[in-house]
Amino acid sequence: MVNLVLFDAGLMGYSLAVHILLVTVGMTLPIIMSIAEFVSIKYKVKIYDVLAKRLANALIIFFAVGTASGVVVAIELFVLWPKFISVLGQVGILPLYMEIFAFFTEAIFLGIYIYFWNKFKSRIRHWLLSVFIAIGAVMSGVFITMINAFMNTPKGFNIPYYLSTGKIIDVNPFAVLNTPTTWIEIGHVIGSTIFAGAAFFLAYFAYKLLKTKGIEREYYKKAAKIAAAIVIIAIILTVIIGIESITNLMVYQPEKFAALEMNFNSGPHVAEVIGGFLVNNKTIDSINIPGLMSFLATGSFNGVIASNDSLSAYAKSTWPPITVVHNTFDIMVGLGVLIGILMVIFLIIWLLNVDKIRDKFESNKFFNRLLSKKIFSDPFDNPLVLKVLIVIGALAAFLLEDGWVTDEVGRQPWIIYNVMTVSAAANTSPSVLPIGIAIIAFYVVVLPATILFVRRVMKKRDLKSELGVKP
């Protein structure tokens, strides 16, 4: 007999895992498109205009699949977790409701942007539409993250009364907009989503830079520069906010923090546990760095870790799967920081190759010697750097999924932290099974088909004719 709670959780998790990939594209594409169109208007460079148009093509296709996928996730939220949604409806559903209007903003302005492109006399007004599209896309993410923050740190009703009676009183519907984790989570989620999306496109442009030449290469180089700038800004912000979110976790979700760190200790000079497995309540095969957790948490190697930041303070029944979340967390932090460092190095090399900076240091022998080395050449012309960017693009998608797993699995067994368990919220109707399997199968086909379709649509374009270059 299939465990329906597990099936519901698996189906929801799978749908979300696919959906967030589409969201990364849907959130980043309007930003790149908007920048490209703005540059084309400001500097009257047509190649950027062509870029904006091509990206608009890709956006509408991804939007079609992404919105449908969003509907699937929203409906799944309603039908798979009826008791959760019933509590959410009485306490904290406002962000979900507000998201609809953000979604409308994106859908309506995207329709106008693409289908009525010709009708605008003023290019700058047309460009403004892309700003609204980007705002709508980002705000959708902001509002849905508010719901997630509510699940992590519930607020806005009398929780002790609800736990003892099952009744909801003292509701403050706006409290959900500002839980202790809301803004940190929004910063981290939006930052990492835009990072992953931009890294994905940067990888694609880097691949094209390796494969093309002439005017086409010039086109992809310009596109890559926009994407690279976004990646650099986003990864730096994501890492900074990520560090802040760990501190936030210690205070507001200490059990989750202890699980992510696989920490059983408290007091001063607590070691940081890297990697490893939990077997019979003991950590094995891990690397322990003495005092590092104390240092990261308090700024001192002898800093005190509170007892509630240790797993020993909690009943085993409320632990999430420790080995899974600890390792996904370590991978997220490790890879995130590594990519951050790589992108900062990339930025430095990029800046060194900017004409104005190059000219300024022209007489400097050290600088000239440095730039004569291949590694310090223009990063967009360096095959090694381009290959690294492709790898970063793939890792970024992995990192996004990994971070999401860390957050969601780290909250188990709760759907609303310390209020409602996943099993209490699940729809255990067997009708879920066949259609759930169909959804899983459908996604397996739809996502690759969409990517291939967009690739084919793009391939069919002739850049020279789009640019008006006579053969």
Partner 1 sequence: MNTYITINYVLLAIVFTFLFVEGMSAISFIYDRKSLPKVKKYLDPVWGIVGTFVVFFVVNTEVLYPSIMPAIDYLYVFPILLATLLFIGRNVFLVFSEYIWKDSKFSQLMLARVYSLITFIIIIILLSIFISIISGVGTNATLTGFSTSVFLSNPYVLGFIVGTLLIAFGLSFVFYKIEKMNVLSPISTVLGLFLFVFSISHLGLNVNYLTYILAAAIAAVSIFYYMTGKARREIIFIVAFLSVISINFLNYGKVFGTQSLTSYLNNSAVASAGILVTIVGGFLLTAMLIFFLYMYKLPEKENSSYDYEESSDEDEKVGIANLYIIPNNNKVNGKEHKAGKDRKR
Q: What angle do CA 382, 208, 57 make, to 5 degrees?
A: 140
CB of 18 to partner 1, least distance (A): 10
CB of 449 to partner 1, least distance (A): 8
For partner 1, which residue of 17, 45, 271, 342 counts as binding (CB under 8 A)?
A: 45
Asked if 297 and 250 count as a contact pair (C-beta separation under 8 A), the reply is yes
Asked if 389 and 206 count as a contact pair (C-beta separation under 8 A), the reply is yes
Long-range contacts of the stretch 109-116 (C-beta < 8 A, 24+): 109/133, 109/136, 110/59, 110/60, 110/63, 113/56, 114/56, 114/60
For partner 1, which residue of 17, 57, 128, 358 counts as binding (CB under 8 A)?
A: 57
CB of 407 to partner 1, least distance (A): 23
| Residues between 257 and 276 that touch partner 1 (CB under 8 A) | none
Residue 143 binding partner 1, by CB under 8 A: no
In DSSP terms, which residues pair with 166 in a beta bridge?
none
CB of 440 to partner 1, least distance (A): 10
Asked if 17 and 86 count as a contact pair (C-beta separation under 8 A), the reply is no
The half-sphere exposure of 314 on its side-chain side, counting CA atoms within 13 A, is: 24
For partner 1, which residue of 94, 228, 258, 339 counts as binding (CB under 8 A)?
A: 94
Residue 37 binding partner 1, by CB under 8 A: no
| Residues between 101 and 130 that touch partner 1 (CB under 8 A) | 101, 103-105, 107-112, 114-123
> Beta-strand (E) ranges in 215-365?
267-268, 272-274, 277-279, 282-284, 287-289, 304-305
| Residues between 356 and 375 that touch partner 1 (CB under 8 A) | none
Residue 13, exposed/middle/buried by CB under 10 A (0-12, 13-18, 19+)?
middle
CB of 418 to partner 1, least distance (A): 21
CB of 289 to partner 1, least distance (A): 47
CB of 417 to partner 1, least distance (A): 20
Residue 149 binding partner 1, by CB under 8 A: no
| Residues between 59 and 78 that touch partner 1 (CB under 8 A) | 60-61, 63-65, 67-72, 74-76, 78
Asked if 100 and 93 count as a contact pair (C-beta separation under 8 A), the reply is no
For partner 1, which residue of 14, 17, 85, 274 counts as binding (CB under 8 A)?
A: 85
The per-residue b/e assignment along 227-264, b for 16 or more CB within 10 angstroms, e otherwise, is: bbbbbbbbbbbbbebbeebbebbbebbbbbbbbbbbbb
Per-residue string for binding with partner 1, 156-195, x by CB under 8 A? ------------x--xxxx---------------------
For partner 1, which residue of 79, 131, 292, 388 counts as binding (CB under 8 A)?
A: 79
Residue 53 binding partner 1, by CB under 8 A: yes
DSSP 98-144: HHHHHHHHHHHHHHHHHHTGGG-S-HHHHHHHHHHHHHHHHHHHHHH
Asked if 262 and 222 count as a contact pair (C-beta separation under 8 A), the reply is no
The half-sphere exposure of 97 on its side-chain side, counting CA atoms within 13 A, is: 12
For partner 1, which residue of 42, 351, 375, 442 counts as binding (CB under 8 A)?
A: 442
Residue 46 binding partner 1, by CB under 8 A: yes
CB of 155 to partner 1, least distance (A): 14
Nearer to partner 1, 77 or 278 (CB): 77
Q: Is the omega angle on the peptide bond into residue 290 within 30 degrees of 0, that is, cis?
A: no
Q: Could you tell me which of 202, 205, 226 has the C-alpha nearest to residue 216?
A: 205
| Residues between 449 and 468 that touch partner 1 (CB under 8 A) | 449-450, 453, 456-457, 460-461, 466-468
For partner 1, which residue of 219, 265, 427, 463 counts as binding (CB under 8 A)?
A: 427
CB of 367 to partner 1, least distance (A): 34
Q: What angle do CA 346, 297, 403 make, to 5 degrees?
A: 55
Q: How many residues bind partner 1 (CB under 8 A)?
A: 87
